[in-house]
A and B are shown apart, each in its own frame.
Chain A
């Protein structure tokens, strides 16, 4: 099956996964059209990371169906067109910034290292060893590693945790620019004020999708003035 005719970049149907006593995914169905910025919102432990890893085909024994760019997951080849930024900046501390980006480009079949470093504004630190970079720089470098191969879908697991407000604005400008270029972005967060920058939001709690829609939709649905309150109202309504 080719993905030429598939409108959805990510298509998850009734995904279920249990880790021991914890139901990490409890029947999640989620469809993200191409070029959309989709925000996964939920508290810590709500299943956001498991969902992202499930989309990537990294979780064993998931019930339900996951399709990524029209390919039924798990599938290794389609991962060449996907970018993934893990929660912690997973980088090789003893390599330089440029060497890190180049490595991730190579394992994905190539990419524009200079463009990626420019995108995260680290061109002048390209020869610096990662261990000498600040926390914010590492986050940006981690992002550069995730997007160096110009992926069609970018999965970002809490990319702005521990990031200062200025950098957060910078990163979001970058995400929006990429989406404008046709990249589908799924971004998880528990910071509600970021949610407003997404095209569409999914509220997750205890492995279930409580509600979906734009920020305005969710506010209207909950009759709330702020997303935080909307989240609390919708969470209460579900339990």
Chain B
């Protein structure tokens, strides 16, 4: 083995890096950005899950539990009445509510188990877990407090847990699966479209198209339709696989799920065409993934709910189209939301708007770097 020849390869490679500022930027900046987002997501600092407490207890135990819950650092507890609790659980304002009945203290004094009702929303596993943990801790602390004062032995804990959506048997796959279907479709469609549109540029065929009577919008829309046919078949395949083979929980209309996916596909196709304008090679189109796609995936609410992000980061999440797709897919599949829901209408409108914006942007930038 000749080191002279070997090092020639090494030196050439380093020289190439020196000329490729974009690759250098992505190598050294993108990981920090992505890790930074991760840290912000998992480091907390956003809104705690809201837990309502309906305290009807005539004795001191109820108030003690409320005090403990209000002091909890895992949930944001507040006193509510039953009607309000129901409303807010449906709207998503509350992740759960706890009902402490009139005879709570009395029955515990008679040796019964401590069995308040806990109503979980059930769509956000981390919020459910935080609620259950906090309520358990609050009950133990409150009961111990009263036991120390005498007249009460620490009771057995037997909360009655019910779920508004889904149920106790929903696993992580059920909760993450729906939005993940959206992410997959978005990611793969973007990748395929941007690379193949870039080939149209780099092989010179785009130049020929520009020298024909074709209008720019005709090229972009023609491309969109072609890719969309394939991408929609792919989306349908992924969806059916998820529902039938993986047995993903779905309380909603399959066609509505498909509509959301279809809008996401159209957006991704045109995003791919648009971004291919700014790449000179297939390699560079792939390089957009850590810059454009990864932050979207992280911030879309799939891993950590948008509401749990620091508030300034929520602003970023809220301008990303993927966030609305994730929101819609979750609402449809877990809550059975339909087109009568304002949330779904908003999400669908945002996704449709994004698609139109990308078609316009792609057509507007098509001329660049044709030669």
Report which A residues bind B (CB closer than 8 A). Answer: 49, 53, 56, 58, 60, 76-77, 79-80, 82, 84, 86-88, 90-93, 104, 107-109, 145
Given contacts A58-B370, A60-B367, contact A90 B203 (CB under 8 A): yes
Q: Is the pair B215, A86 in contact by a Cβ cutoff of 8 Å?
A: no
A91 to B204: give the CA distance in the assembly, Å.
8
Interface segment, one of B163-171, B206-214, B234-242? B206-214
* B 275-319 binary contact with A (CB < 8 Å = 1; else 0): 000000000000000000000000000000000000000000000
The verdict on B371 contacting chain A, using a C-beta distance below 8 Å, is yes
Q: Is the pair B211, A56 in contact by a Cβ cutoff of 8 Å?
A: yes
Query: Which residues of B are found within 8 Å of A87, using beta-carbon distances?
Result: 204
The verdict on B205 contacting chain A, using a C-beta distance below 8 Å, is yes
Can you name the residue of chain A whose Cβ is closest to the Cβ of B210? A58
Q: A84 → chain B, closest Cβ, in Å? A: 4
Q: Is the pair B211, A107 in contact by a Cβ cutoff of 8 Å?
A: no
A60 to B370: give the CA distance in the assembly, Å.
11
A87 to B209: give the CA distance in the assembly, Å.
15
Q: Is the pair A82, B205 in contact by a Cβ cutoff of 8 Å?
A: no
Q: Is the pair B207, A104 in contact by a Cβ cutoff of 8 Å?
A: no
A53 to B204: give the CA distance in the assembly, Å.
13
A49 to B367: give the CA distance in the assembly, Å.
17
**Interface positions of B from 313 to 371, Cβ below 8 Å from A:** 367, 370-371
Can you name the residue of chain B whose Cβ is closest to the Cβ of A107? B212
Q: B104 → chain A, closest Cβ, in Å? A: 72
Q: Is the pair A145, B208 in contact by a Cβ cutoff of 8 Å?
A: yes
Given contacts A58-B370, A76-B215, contact A90 B208 (CB under 8 A): yes
Q: Is the pair B367, A79 in contact by a Cβ cutoff of 8 Å?
A: no
Query: Which residues of A are found within 8 Å of B213, using beta-carbon distances?
Result: 76-77, 79-80, 107-109
A77 to B205: give the CA distance in the assembly, Å.
19
Given contacts A58-B370, A60-B367, contact A107 B214 (CB under 8 A): yes
Q: Is the pair B214, A90 in contact by a Cβ cutoff of 8 Å?
A: no
**Interface positions of B from 169 to 218, Cβ below 8 Å from A:** 203-205, 207-215
Task: Pick the residue among B203, B209, B212, B371 that contacts A53 (CB under 8 A).
Answer: B371
Most interface-central of B208, B214, B370, B371 (chain A CB within 10 A): B208
Can you name the residue of chain B whose Cβ is closest to the Cβ of A142? B208
Q: Is the pair A88, B204 in contact by a Cβ cutoff of 8 Å?
A: yes
Q: Is the pair B210, A86 in contact by a Cβ cutoff of 8 Å?
A: no
Q: Is the pair B204, A84 in contact by a Cβ cutoff of 8 Å?
A: no
List 15 extra interface pairs beyond A77-B213, A91-B205, CB under 8 A: A53-B371, A56-B211, A58-B210, A76-B213, A80-B212, A84-B211, A90-B203, A90-B204, A90-B208, A92-B203, A93-B203, A107-B209, A107-B213, A109-B213, A145-B208
Given contacts A76-B215, A79-B213, contact A58 B207 (CB under 8 A): yes
Pairs across A and B, CB under 8 Å, 7 listed: A58-B210, A76-B215, A86-B204, A87-B204, A90-B208, A91-B205, A107-B212
Task: Pick the residue among B205, B212, B215 that contacts A90 (CB under 8 A).
Answer: B205
Given contacts A58-B370, A60-B367, A93-B203, contact A108 B212 (CB under 8 A): yes
Query: Which residues of B are found within 8 Å of A79, using beta-carbon distances?
Result: 211-213
